[in-house]
């Protein structure tokens, strides 16, 4: 499954918010420096979809706030 992500770095807390069926807002406390925010978003998405971090892949947007991730395998989305 492909999922569009809007990342808000340096937020007050880590949070994943469903905006539409295929778009999420991911807030992270990590700064957008040296890939720290991307690594945290990667783990937050794995936790959100209940999959191993190995099944989450950044497809596009490595240095941008708007990103495209792919979730592989069987996943379960939180409500």
Give the pLDDT confidence score for residue 56 in this predicted structure: 97
Counting Cβ atoms within 10 Å, is residue 44 exposed (0-12), middle (13-18) or buried (19+)?
Answer: buried
Tell me the per-residue pLDDT of 16-58, one tens digit each, with 9 for 90 and over.
Answer: 999 998 899 999 999 999 999 999 999 999 999 999 999 999 9
**What is residue 1's DSSP assignment?**
-
- Indicate the pLDDT class of residue 74, thresholds 50, 70 and 90: confident
Cα distance from N-terminal residue to C-terminal residue, the chain: 17
Give the pLDDT confidence score for residue 22 in this predicted structure: 86
Q: Which domains does the chain have, with CATH numbers?
A: 2-71 (3.30.1200.10)
Q: Is the pLDDT reported for residue 7 higher than 80?
A: yes
Tell me the sheet residues that pair with 68.
4, 60
């Amino acid at each position: 499954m492909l999922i569009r992500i809007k990342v808000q770095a340096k937020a007050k807390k880590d949070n994943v918010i469903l905006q539409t069926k295929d778009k999420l807002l991911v807030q992270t406390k990590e700064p957008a420096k040296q890939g720290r925010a991307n690594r945290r978003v990667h783990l937050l998405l794995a936790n959100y979809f209940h999959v191993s971090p190995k099944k989450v892949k950044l497809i596009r947007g490595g240095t941008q706030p708007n990103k495209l991730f792919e979730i592989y395998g069987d996943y379960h989305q939180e409500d």
